[in-house]
Chain A
Amino acid sequence: MSTGLISLIVLGLAAVGFVLGRNRAIRDAGGDTRVLHSLPFFHGLVVFLATAVPAFLVLILWLIVQPMIVNSRVSGMIPADVAPDAAAQTLALSDVRRISGGLDAAIDQDKITPDELEAMTTDATDVRALLGTVGVALGSDVNPAVFEAAKAYRKLDATGAIGRTIAVLAAALLGFGIAFPRINRDFRARNASERFITVTLFAASTVAVLTTVGIILSLVFETFHFFTLYPALDFFLGTVWNPQFRGGSELGILPLLWGTLYVSFIALLVAVPVGLLSAIYLSEYASRRVRTVVKPLIEILAGIPTIVYGLFALITVGPILRDYFAQPLNLGNSSSSVMTAGIVMGIMVIPFVSSLSDDIINAVPQSLRDGSLGLGATPSETIRKVVLPAALPGVVGAILLAASRAIGETMIVVMGAGAAAKLSLNPFEAMTTITVKIVSQLTGDTEFASPETLVAFALGLTLFVVTLGLNILALYIVRKYREQYE
Chain B
Amino acid sequence: MNDMRIAERNVDTNESKISARKVQVYYGTNHALKDVDVDILDKTVTAFIGPSGCGKSTFLRCLNRMNDTVASARVEGTITLDGENIYDAKVDPVQLRAKVGMVFQKPNPFPKSIYDNIAYGPKIHGLTRSKSELDGIVETSLKKAALWNEVKDRLDSPGTGLSGGQQQRLCIARAIATQPEVLLMDEPCSALDPIATAQVEELIDELRSQFSVVIVTHSMQQAARVSQRTAFFHLGNLVEYGETGQIFTNPKDPRTESYITGRIG
Contact = CB atoms under 8 A, between A and B. Distances in A.
Interface of A: 287, 365, 367-378, 381, 385-386, 389-390, 484
B94 A378 contact: yes
Contact of B178 (A369, A376, A385): A376
Nearest to A375: B121
A389 B94 contact: no
Contacts, number: 69
Nearest to B96: A376
A372 B171 CA distance: 11
A372 B104 CA distance: 11
B58 to A, nearest CB: 14
Interface in B97-115: 97-99, 101-102, 104, 106, 108-112
A219 to B, nearest CB: 41
B110 A372 contact: yes
A114 B160 CA distance: 82
From B95, B102, B109, B111, name the one whose CB has the most chain A CB atoms within 10 angstroms: B111
Q: How large is the interface on B (under 10, 10 to 19, 20 to 34, 35 or more residues)?
A: 20 to 34
A365 B108 contact: yes
6 contacts: A368-B111, A370-B104, A374-B104, A375-B121, A375-B178, A376-B124
B166 interface: no
Contact of B110 (A287, A371, A376, A381): A371
Contact of A385 (B95, B97, B104, B124): B124
Contacts of B99: 376
Nearest to A367: B108
Given A375-B120, A377-B94, A367 B106 contact: yes
Interface in B59-81: 64, 66, 69, 71
A370 B175 contact: no
Contact of A376 (B69, B94, B104, B160): B94
B125 A371 contact: no
Nearest to B177: A375
Nearest to A370: B104
B174 interface: yes
B126 to A, nearest CB: 11
A370 B96 CA distance: 14
A368 B109 CA distance: 7
A373 B178 CA distance: 13
A374 B175 contact: yes
Contacts of A368: 108, 110-111
Given A368-B108, A370-B108, A375 B98 contact: yes
A390 B109 CA distance: 11
Greatest chain A CB density within 10 A among B66, B110, B160 is at: B110
B157 to A, nearest CB: 15
Q: Which of B108, B109, B112, B125 has the most CB of A within 10 A?
A: B108
A377 B108 CA distance: 15
Given A374-B66, A375-B101, A389 B111 contact: yes
Nearest to A365: B108
A367 B124 contact: no
Interface of B: 64, 66, 69, 71, 94-99, 101-102, 104, 106, 108-112, 120-121, 124-125, 160, 171, 174-175, 178
B111 A370 contact: no
A287 B71 CA distance: 9
Q: Which of A287, A369, A371 has the most CB of B within 10 A?
A: A371
A369 B66 CA distance: 11
A377 B97 CA distance: 8
Given A371-B171, A374-B175, A376-B94, A390 B110 contact: yes
Closest 9 CB pairs of A and B: A376-B98, A374-B102, A367-B108, A376-B97, A371-B108, A375-B121, A390-B111, A377-B124, A378-B94
Contact of B104 (A367, A378, A390): A367
Contacts of B125: 376
Contacts of A390: 110-111
Of A368, A369, A370, A374, chain B has the most CB atoms within 10 Å of the CB of A374
A11 to B, nearest CB: 55
A285 to B, nearest CB: 11
Contacts of A389: 110-112
A372 B95 contact: no
A368 to B, nearest CB: 6
Nearest to B122: A375
B61 to A, nearest CB: 9
A373 B104 CA distance: 12
Nearest to A378: B94
A367 B97 CA distance: 16
Contacts of A372: 110, 120
Contacts of B95: 376
B71 A374 contact: no
A365 B178 CA distance: 23
A103 B96 CA distance: 90
A377 B92 CA distance: 11
A372 B120 CA distance: 8
Contacts of A385: 120, 124
B145 to A, nearest CB: 14
A369 B110 CA distance: 9
Given A374-B101, A376-B97, A377-B94, 16 more contacts: A369-B69, A370-B69, A370-B108, A371-B104, A371-B109, A371-B110, A371-B171, A373-B97, A374-B102, A375-B97, A375-B101, A375-B120, A376-B96, A378-B94, A385-B120, A484-B111
Contacts of B94: 376-378
A59 to B, nearest CB: 55
Contacts of B112: 389
Nearest to B98: A376
A373 B67 CA distance: 11
Contacts of B69: 369-370, 373
Given A372-B120, A375-B101, A376-B95, A484 B160 contact: yes
B211 to A, nearest CB: 15
A375 B160 contact: no
B111 to A, nearest CB: 5
B198 to A, nearest CB: 24
Nearest to A374: B102
Nearest to B69: A373
Nearest to A379: B69
B261 to A, nearest CB: 34
A184 to B, nearest CB: 56
Nearest to B120: A375
A377 B101 CA distance: 11
